[in-house]
Amino acid sequence: MANYNPKSLKAEEFINDGEILETLKYAEENKNNVELIDSLLEKARPKKTELGVTCAGLTHREASVLLACEIPEKIEAMYALAEEIKQAFYGNRIVMFAPLYLSNYCVNGCTYCPYHYQNKHICRKKLTQEEVRAEVIALQDMGHKRLAIEAGEDPVNNPIEYILECIDTIYSIHHKNGDIRRVNVNIAATTVENYRKLKDAGIGTYILFQETYHKESYEALHPTGPKHNYAYHTEAMDRAMEGGIDDVGLGVLFGLELYKYEFAGLLMHAEHLEAVHGVGPHTISVPRLKKADDIDPDQFDNGISDDIFEKIIACIRIAVPYTGMIISTRESEAVRGRALNLGISQISGASRTSVGGYTEEERPHDSEQFDVSDQRTLDEVVRWLMELDHIPSFCTACYREGRTGDRFMQLCKTGQILNCCHPNALMTLTEYLVDYASPETQKVGFELIEKELAKIPKDKVRQIAKDNIEQIKASNRRDFRF
Ligand code: SAM
């Protein structure tokens, strides 16, 4: 554990290679240690408290033992526990969002991404503000309220001023009953000053995937450009938090390095944020490497099977019970369906990964970042979720009420979700159904809402939610949220 220090601000000390290797060794030695595995599952189980529910989570070492375990009954127990934790803190709500690609100009040389600067045949595009408007209206017309904006790294074509202007444009568009109420941002690592500007522009979560925590591989996979700098990239979340952004989203691109290494690194990063800033990551994403314009995933040695992918999701859910988990349309309907029962709390729907993709008719688009597996419409995804007894949520109230960072975690930890997020989800779902859904989806939705209202514990809250839902159905909006 030579230089391992979760409180350090130096990447190589809080993501310490020696500590990860020792963790993997410890996990391998204990992968059949039934007594230890049972005690970890017990430690991680949600417990009732006077205030609500609490969950201890697991350290990166403990969670790595679960990930290494190959005993079928224990894996089943992990999956059941992951679902129990998801239900305890997030209920059956699934937050909906869509990515919005602003520009694919990029100066980096990432070997797995078709936006790398040496790709001379991919069509380069950058949206004008008029085009941003058109894309946002198309997204609002589907019913989206929450976006994640995406851009390549290019200080000349996509400077921070351009990103800020786009955010302003997005928030300014009110088309019919549509509004984008939360803009999350996935752009390259930047300075504290720029993070402060993003915070002032009113962003939700700042998302940055580590791609890989393995320094040597990281440097080989990012041979040129500003992204080559491992420490600058890995320390980005600390700068974001210093700039005032208290919701940050982590992720690794599974397929680039050995998944057990990435898993330990990811959890160490979460532990570091908690140790230094008092709050862990708001979300963790689990992207897997996909085929893209000039990228063949088979050229990379570390692809993972669907079974391993599910195990990773369940083990993350168990280790960091309060962190939201995101799965994108990189995954198929079948994989997403299984992942929903293992702890996922946010999914994208009807995504286009090309610049200008929401206003173009034909697929595939010539500026696309990667192949999208789940190509269903938002209406189809929403209906599918409800048929599986999940509540698609378009709520952004926490963010608007300033319940971010540790204030959100507090809400989660005291189990107030059923009296707050649950009714909000039902009200925003009603808005969606009234404004955008097909008659078939409306039918499924209104029946589900009836059933779900009964789950709200406080009589007064339940009655207010019922009244509001009736008002929304009568097209009488009050935009009320708990
Ligand atoms: N440019 C930003 C940066 O440097 O972090 C991020 C924006 S990029 C549009 C979003 C993410 O897409 C990347 O962080 C990467 O993990 C992922 N990505 C890149 N190539 C991919 C591929 N071939 N398959 C799946 N995901 C990919």
pLDDT, residue 363, reads 61
How far apart are the C-alpha atoms of 374 and 356, rounded to whole Å? 19
Phi and psi (nearest 5°) for 242? -65, -35
Q: 3-class DSSP state for residue 474?
A: coil
pLDDT digit string (tens) for the chain, length 482 residues: 558 999 999 999 999 999 999 999 999 999 999 999 999 999 999 998 887 788 999 999 999 999 999 999 999 999 999 999 999 888 999 999 999 999 999 999 999 999 999 999 899 999 999 999 999 999 999 999 999 999 999 999 999 999 999 999 999 999 999 999 999 999 999 999 999 999 999 999 999 999 999 999 999 999 999 999 999 999 999 999 999 999 999 999 999 999 999 999 999 999 999 999 999 999 999 999 999 998 999 999 899 999 999 999 999 999 999 999 999 999 999 999 999 999 999 999 999 999 999 998 766 667 788 889 999 999 999 999 999 999 999 998 876 677 777 777 777 766 677 778 899 999 999 999 999 999 999 999 999 999 999 988 889 999 999 999 999 999 877 677 77
- AA identity, residue 224: T
Question: Can you tell me which atom of ligand 1 is nearest the CA of 108?
Answer: 4
How far apart are the C-alpha atoms of 456 and 422, rounded to whole Å? 7
Question: Can you tell me which atom of ligand 1 is nearest the CA of 106?
Answer: 1
Nearest CA to ligand 1 atom 20: 113
In Å, how far are 172, 391, 450, 461 from 387, measured between CA atoms? 34, 9, 14, 26
pLDDT, residue 122, reads 92
pLDDT, residue 365, reads 65
Q: Residue 304 in contact with residue 346, Cβ under 8 Å?
A: no
The angle, 0 to 180 degrees and rounded to 10, between the axes of the packed helices 459-473 and 439-453 is 160
pLDDT, residue 322, reads 92
The 10 Å CB-count burial string (b at 16+, else e) for 208-218 is bebbbbbbebb
Nearest CA to ligand 1 atom 4: 188
For the record, the structure tokens of 328 come out as: 């994108």
Whole-number Å distance, alpha carbon 437 to ligand 1 midpoint, is 31
pLDDT, residue 24, reads 98
How far apart are the C-alpha atoms of 18 and 222, rounded to whole Å? 22
- For the question of whether the overall pTM of this predicted structure is more than 0.85, the answer is yes
Tokens 């609490």 sit on residue: 54
Residues with CB under 6 A from ligand 1: 112-113, 150, 152-153, 186-188, 208-209, 211, 227, 253, 287, 289-290, 292, 295, 330, 369-370
Whole-number Å distance, alpha carbon 296 to ligand 1 midpoint, is 15
Whole-number Å distance, alpha carbon 19 to ligand 1 midpoint, is 27
Whole-number Å distance, alpha carbon 293 to ligand 1 midpoint, is 13
CA atoms within 13 A on the CB side of 196: 5
Name which of 336, 448, 339, 350 is nearest 392 in CA terms: 448
pLDDT, residue 476, reads 72
pLDDT, residue 25, reads 98
Q: Residue 353 in contact with residue 370, Cβ under 8 Å?
A: yes
Nearest CA to ligand 1 atom 9: 150
Whole-number Å distance, alpha carbon 226 to ligand 1 midpoint, is 15
pLDDT, residue 2, reads 58
